[in-house]
Amino acid sequence: MDAIILQILNGLDKGSAYALIALGLTLIFGTLGVVNFAHGALFMIGAFCAVTFSKFLTLSHTVIDENKTDFLGNPAKIEVPYIYDLFGQATGDAIIDWAVPLSLIVSIPVMVGIGFIMERGLIKHFYKRPHADQILVTFGLAIVLQEVIKYYYGANPIPTPAPDAFRGSFDFGAMMGFDPNTIIYPYWRLVYFAFAAVIIGAVFAFLQFTTFGMVVRAGMADRETVGLLGINIDKRFTIMFGIAAAVAGLAGVMYAPINSPNYHMGMDFLVLSFVVVVVGGMGSLPGAVLAGFLLGILESFASMAVVLELIPGINQVIIYLVAIIILLTRPRGLMGRKGVMEE
């Protein structure tokens, strides 16, 4: 029982990452009809916003310490962050410690800006081109983006820890009457889950309850008619692209403490998030979220030792297997609309 509860927790946590990325992909796809292979790269850039911000906070000047030596036996150079000079060491350390949550503030404008530039500068010209061309150009863009990151940050993962207050894990077991230590879950992952829920909720509320959202939904359903009504749908779609980029970016920022970011983390997520989107059904936002959580939970169950003993290797293929079964039984995924991307 406790093992199952634990894996459900895990699945929700994994699922929230999948759902966030899939949500952004579907936003772009549903509104603009563009298959964006650079979406994983946006997620990666989000994580590197956190990295860059914490690097920025720790910008230092060097002080030569004659008492210590470096590995070559020369006098050691000690790096002193400027922030120490500004706020003193204690406050400085506290600010550096909170770099990841703080970088959320910075990353929103950055990601929206990147989204705008991408849409206006590149994607706009591809609305009427075949999907294959969209895939090629966004894939090219994804490679360029990740190579640029690699050029500046190297290929190795860069540790970006969560604030000290969120280290360690919460013991659900003790709370729910199981033995202590049986159901523990890290605080930061719980934060991530809550964060994802808030973002998903906000996007849905925005689309559901604002006039802007209503127009965008109408545009998703029938772009031409909305245009004929005299509404400038293009401008709204650009904004939606910016929002989608921000969702991907925020997902990346918050993910940085979970796994140290590296330049190819976007590609690692890309294929998976496409599977999620398609299983959810092309063009369906609730479908994307549902599929994200479903696949996350199934993946967690498949990685249990008991299951692996029964079916060796199932953890390697579960997501794809489920995708095949769902697509064969439900032709347009869980909640897909008819006629979208079927030709």
Distances (CA, A) of 215 to 32, 225, 231, 320: 13, 11, 8, 35
Stretch that binds another protein, among 42-50, 80-88, 156-164, 200-208 (CB under 8 A): 156-164
Residue with Cβ nearer another protein (262 or 284): 262
Q: Does 278 bind another protein (CB under 8 A)?
A: yes
Q: Does 268 bind another protein (CB under 8 A)?
A: yes
Binding residues among 41-80 for another protein as defined by CB under 8 A: 68, 70-72, 76
CB 218 → another protein: shortest distance, Å?
23
CB 259 → another protein: shortest distance, Å?
5
Q: Which amino acid is at 293?
A: F
CB 129 within 8 A of CB 27: no
Residue with Cβ nearer another protein (97 or 234): 97
Give the tokens for residue 279. 């299983």
CB 176 → another protein: shortest distance, Å?
14
CB 50 within 8 A of CB 288: no
CB 15 within 8 A of CB 293: yes
Binding residues among 183-202 for another protein as defined by CB under 8 A: 184-186, 188-189
Stretch that binds another protein, among 112-120, 199-207, 244-252, 322-330 (CB under 8 A): 322-330
CB 245 within 8 A of CB 24: yes
Residue with Cβ nearer another protein (123 or 233): 123
- 63 CB neighbour count, 10 Å cutoff: 10
Q: Can you tell me which of 60, 116, 120, 169 binds another protein, judged by CB under 8 A?
A: 169
Residues 6+ apart with CB under 8 A from 9: 172, 183, 185
Q: Can you tell me which of 117, 143, 218, 231 binds another protein, judged by CB under 8 A?
A: 143
Residue with Cβ nearer another protein (131 or 209): 131
Q: Can you tell me which of 27, 196, 248, 275 binds another protein, judged by CB under 8 A?
A: 275
CB-neighbour burial class of residue 208 (10 A; exposed 0-12, middle 13-18, buried 19+): exposed
Binding residues among 3-32 for another protein as defined by CB under 8 A: 3, 6-7, 9-11, 13-14, 17
- 296 CB neighbour count, 10 Å cutoff: 22
Binding residues among 200-259 for another protein as defined by CB under 8 A: 258-259
- 267 CB neighbour count, 10 Å cutoff: 16
**What's the rounded Cα separation, in Å, for the pair 297 and 189?**
15
Q: Can you tell me which of 177, 230, 328, 338 binds another protein, judged by CB under 8 A?
A: 328
Q: Does 141 bind another protein (CB under 8 A)?
A: yes
Question: Residue 194's closest CA among 254, 108, 106?
Answer: 254
Distances (CA, A) of 11 to 263, 292, 294: 25, 9, 8
Q: Can you tell me which of 139, 190, 215, 217 binds another protein, judged by CB under 8 A?
A: 139
Give the tokens for residue 176. 């729910």
Question: Residue 26's closest CA among 300, 262, 291, 253?
Answer: 291
Stretch that binds another protein, among 157-165, 212-220, 223-231, 232-240 (CB under 8 A): 157-165
Residue with Cβ nearer another protein (217 or 315): 315
CB 320 → another protein: shortest distance, Å?
4
Stretch that binds another protein, among 19-27, 212-220, 240-248, 318-326 (CB under 8 A): 318-326
